[in-house]
Structure 1
Amino acid sequence: MICDQLSESAADVQEHAIQWYKAGELESLFAEGDCHGITVNGHRIGLFRVDADVYALDDLCTHGNALLSDGEMDGHGIECPLHAGLFDVRDGSVMCAPLTRATRCHKVRIQDDAVYVAVPEKTGG
């Protein structure tokens, strides 16, 4: 599954080159559940599996700074473990209060049973 757009919260993020990184083997990443957190090129990413599709979001809740990968899946929603707000894993949009700001969605591809995630290149500074 590929997320082709960045959520509204990324509108004020400067455009940077995107690089694909191998997150791991599909079955290993999701051996213990449908949520998994990784760090890729200095970016904390949450991976979420819904049926045969895998989605990737910034792993930090925009409301309470909790790791979304520690939350519970509810259909296509990932529930923040702190205040029970839901983000849509397909595009990072807010599904319910107390959330007010979307989180960034990253492109995902599966190739030869491995999961790859596209993240912005690190810039100097």
Structure 2
Amino acid sequence: MSEPVYQIIGDSADVAEDKGKAYQVGGVQIAVIRHGGRLYALDEFCTHADASLAFGPVKDGCVACPWHYAEFDLETGAAKSLPAVKPVRTFPIRETVDGRIEVAIGSPRECGA
């Protein structure tokens, strides 16, 4: 298995705790969310009604859709509550020592539903 190829997408300071930010990387819309001091990257849009998860509330390891409150696991992308039943993809993400965010879009993780 090959190593993921990371791309710099922004500054770590731009994503506050329990908040998200939308990015477009290589034609893919993603939400980057900080929770528990860690960054997560997942598909930006809810699989139920296409609302941006970058603006949803974050709690207990999940992000909720801001429209209908379907919850998605930040680690696996699994849909944890209705009305969503399909997962979102998650992507490898890391912070560099100089405060940058890097994500590997070409390497979506499998959903651990």
TM-score band, normalised by shorter chain:
0.7 to 0.9
- TM-score, normalised to structure 2's length? 0.83
- TM-score, normalised to structure 1's length? 0.76
RMSD between aligned residues: 2.0
**1:82-121 equivalences in 2 (<5 Å):** 82-112=67-97, 113-120=99-106
Instruction: Name 1:60's counterpart in structure 2.
Output: 45
Q: Distance in 2 between matches of 1:96 and 1:46?
A: 19
Q: Distance in 2 between matches of 1:25 and 1:65?
A: 26
Instruction: Name 1:9's counterpart in structure 2.
Output: none
Contact in 1 for aligned 2:18/2:59 (Cα 8 Å): no
Structure 2 regions of 5+ residues with no counterpart? 108-113
The answer on 1:30 being equivalent to 2:30 is no
Q: Which one has a larger percent helix, Structure 1 or Structure 2?
A: 1
Q: Which runs of 4+ in 1 moved over 3 A?
A: none
Considering Cα pairs closer than 8 Å and 6+ residues apart, tell me whether 1 or 2 has the greater RCO: 1
Structure 1 regions of 5+ residues with no counterpart? 1-16
Q: Secondary structure, in 3 states, of the residue corresponding to 2:41?
A: strand
* Matched letter for residue 40 of structure 2: Y
Q: Distance in 1 between matches of 2:62 and 2:43?
A: 14
Contact in 1 for aligned 2:18/2:35 (Cα 8 Å): no
Q: Distance in 2 between matches of 1:41 and 1:103?
A: 17
Change (3 A) 1:79 1:51: same
**Equivalent residue pairs, number:** 104
